[in-house]
Structure 1
Amino acid sequence: MRKKLFDIIEVISEENKASDIYDGVMLFVIVISLVPLAFKSTNTAFEVIDLVSTVIFMVDYILRFITADLKLKIKAPAAFFIYPFTPMAVIDLLAILPFFSFLNDGFRLLKILRLTRTFRVFRAAKMLRYSKNLMILVNVLKREHKALTAVATLACAYIMLSALVIFNVEPDSFGNFFDAVYWATVSLTTVGYGDIYPTTTLGRVVTMLSSLFGIAIIALPSGIITGGYLNELNNMNHTDSESTQKNLPDNTTLR
């Protein structure tokens, strides 16, 4: 019984229709549960949505807890102690906790639970588990983490260098070094808020050079992620093709 539950709540096979339905329902519940966050006021409909979605999340959490040994592939006693501290289990728990903030109406000592209302945004993170497209993106980030880390290091080094240069070239326009770092970050991303800007000719030259190099640095992660995403899709299609050929009879060929 637990094995059947595990096969449904976890993506074991592309051909598992029950798992696909479960993932679709959970994605729908997650999206609906986020609707009240778009409004400052609340009403009965929002309270019902919060109640129903929380109950579903609790059931999902319980099902995943009782199949933790199958997920973690370790013996039952240890798995049940380790699972609550895994990243996705923590996100699941944080998505449930805000509902219990109703207790603060009756117990002053529990007013601290009002802070858990901010944890509702973690419900969006639960979509990582149910969305295949998001899982592809996560896999891309894992595979390309070295290249992305190198680009992030380059960007941080460039920000610090630009900040040092502009802070010494035009000290009157920047109250402290943090203002220079803020300006360098804005210039690197080519956002250009205009709240802090150089006023001298040399400072403007530095700004132009910073913006030009910033465009090149910002374009790097986009290319890395796009290339990795395409490779991941090609690998998935190749795997599906091989799986289809294996399932065909020996005397059958694909045209």
Structure 2
Amino acid sequence: MVTKVKINRVRAKIFNMVSTGVIDEPMNKFYDFLSIVALVLNLFAAFAITFDYMEEHYKGLLLAIEAVTTFFFAVDYILRLISSAELYPKLSGAKAAIRYISSLAGIIDLLSFLPYYLPVFFPAGGTVFRLFRVARILRLFRINSYYDQLNVITEIIVSKSQQLLASVFIILILMMASSLCMYSVEHEAQPDVFQNAFSGIWWSASTLLTVGYGDIYPVTIMGKILGIIISFLGVGMVAIPTGIISAGFVEQYQRLKTVGEFAEEENIHFIRVRLSENDKWSDKKIMEIGIPKDAMIVAIQRGNETLIPRGSTVLKTGDIIVMCAEKSKDIQPIELKEITINEGHSWNGMAIRDIDMSRQSYIFMIRRRGKAIIPKGSLVIRAGDIVLLYEKHATNKNV
């Protein structure tokens, strides 16, 4: 049992180390820095070696950089594979590993180093394998975890996905319709160019998307008039997705600004919690979960909907709950805190009832591997837990 606990602790440390953005310990911060440096150097070597001067004078150095950084990617993949059970805590070790291997991130990590070594075993496929090295560029998206502003782009695309798909669908319909119309008026004048209704797809795509290569173009008067009309429609159609994304940026930043100003003005602290399947809050009404009276649920994100909570609102698995606690304007201000428990923390391995805390401090939730746990006196705090507590600061009435 002791050995299993040690293995789990080592695996948790490895997971924290390879997880991008977890910089609570110097080793984790150094590993993130090393990952970024390795990726930048690898991409630099891949691009630099395509220049004749660089290849002639620095080929050995560039190949050495590629070899070392690619080996680092291989080690990183192995570490992520070992710690995959921490990434998917509900799955067993083997199933978690398979889940990681088959995930998009796992495939990108695998393609980051495997094509480099495959020519050793299959020399004939060296050129094809080299094409797969482009997957290393996709590792740049890991840097996205450092910057919340970059995450806004993903959130906007997801939230506006239906509108974007609708606009793309309209563009496809216009492409087919314009191709058929152009075939009808240009087939007799250019039978070799517009052979059938689908021959104009390339022309309609380049026209509607405002590229205009000029390799295929109408020669009849009716075809030119039709081409002008379709060009005008193309400008409007391309502007639709751009407008949707632009509007999404405006809405998102306005929302962030409003929440930030409101929190600053009212001195309110916000915490977001995602409910998992085994959460005790799942399938319960808000009035039944017993949150502290000084804290409140201000919003519930369910899919693409934002719900205004009421006492009778039933919480469901997958909901993102936005909680807040405000500093009272009269007697006792309240402050929410998040404490990440690491291996060396004094609370690690202790039951809540045995923790020596101020009477003004209260633990109201523990997040463990993405799951929210309602604290009880017998609950033992573990390494990796995020303890959410609020503190009441007594004011001095004599001042």
Structure with more helix by fraction? 1
Give deviations 1:62-81, integer Å, cap 9, x for gaps: 12111111112322221122
Matches within 5 A, 1:28-39: 28-38=37-47, 39=50
Note closer, same or farther for the CA distance 1:189–1:17 as it changes in structure 2 (3 Å cut): farther
Aligned partner (choices 194, 202, 211) of residue 175 of structure 1 = 194
Aligned partner (choices 43, 55, 58) of residue 71 of structure 2 = 55
Mapped to 1, the partners of 2:242 and 2:34 lie a distance apart of 32
Mapped to 2, the partners of 1:55 and 1:115 lie a distance apart of 20
Structure 1 segments of 4+ aligned residues over 3 angstroms from their partners: 15-25, 132-136, 229-241, 247-252
Give unpaired runs (5+ residues) of structure 2. 1-9, 264-268, 272-323, 325-334, 338-389, 395-399
- 1:7 equivalenced with 2:16 (yes/no): yes
Which deviates more, 81-90 or 129-138?
A: 129-138
For residue 239 of structure 2, what is the aligned residue in structure 1?
Answer: 219
Give deviations 1:41-96, integer Å, cap 9, x for gaps: 64112211211111111121112111111112322221122221111111111111
Which deviates more, 239-248 or 55-64?
A: 239-248
Give deviations 1:91-145, integer Å, cap 9, x for gaps: 11111123214516xxxx5422441110111111111223235544233322222
Structure with more strand by fraction? 2
- Greater RCO, 1 or 2 (C-alpha within 8 Å, sep 6+): 1
Normalising by structure 2, we get a TM-score of 0.55
Mapped to 1, the partners of 2:87 and 2:211 lie a distance apart of 44
Note closer, same or farther for the CA distance 1:145–1:54 as it changes in structure 2 (3 Å cut): same
Note closer, same or farther for the CA distance 1:120–1:251 as it changes in structure 2 (3 Å cut): same
Instruction: Please report how far the alpha carbon of residue 220 of structure 1 lies from its aligned counterpart in structure 2 after TM superposition.
Output: 1.4
Aligned partner (choices 79, 83, 94) of residue 100 of structure 2 = 83
Q: Confirm or deny: 8 A CA contact 1:163 1:181 kept in the other structure.
A: yes
Mapped to 1, the partners of 2:62 and 2:255 lie a distance apart of 42
Matches within 5 A, 1:62-141: 62-73=78-89, 74-103=91-120, 110-132=123-145, 134-141=150-157
Identical columns (%): 25
Note closer, same or farther for the CA distance 1:190–1:180 as it changes in structure 2 (3 Å cut): same
Give unpaired runs (5+ residues) of structure 1. none
Mapped to 2, the partners of 1:231 and 1:62 lie a distance apart of 41
Mapped to 1, the partners of 2:206 and 2:136 lie a distance apart of 30
Normalising by structure 1, we get a TM-score of 0.83
Note closer, same or farther for the CA distance 1:242–1:234 as it changes in structure 2 (3 Å cut): farther
For residue 184 of structure 1, what is the aligned residue in structure 2?
Answer: 204
For residue 296 of structure 2, what is the aligned residue in structure 1?
Answer: none
Mapped to 2, the partners of 1:236 and 1:126 lie a distance apart of 28
Give deviations 1:202-254, integer Å, cap 9, x for gaps: 111111111111111111111222333444456667489635963386459xx
Q: Confirm or deny: 8 A CA contact 2:186 2:194 kept in the other structure.
A: no
Note closer, same or farther for the CA distance 1:28–1:136 as it changes in structure 2 (3 Å cut): farther
Which deviates more, 132-141 or 150-159?
A: 132-141
Matches within 5 A, 1:207-246: 207-233=227-253, 238=259, 242=270, 246=336
Larger radius of gyration: 2
Give deviations 1:168-211, integer Å, cap 9, x for gaps: 11113333344310010011111111111111221111111111
Matches within 5 A, 1:149-168: 149-168=165-184
For residue 162 of structure 2, what is the aligned residue in structure 1?
Answer: 146
Instruction: Please report how far the alpha carbon of residue 151 of structure 1 lies from its aligned counterpart in structure 2 after TM superposition.
Output: 1.0
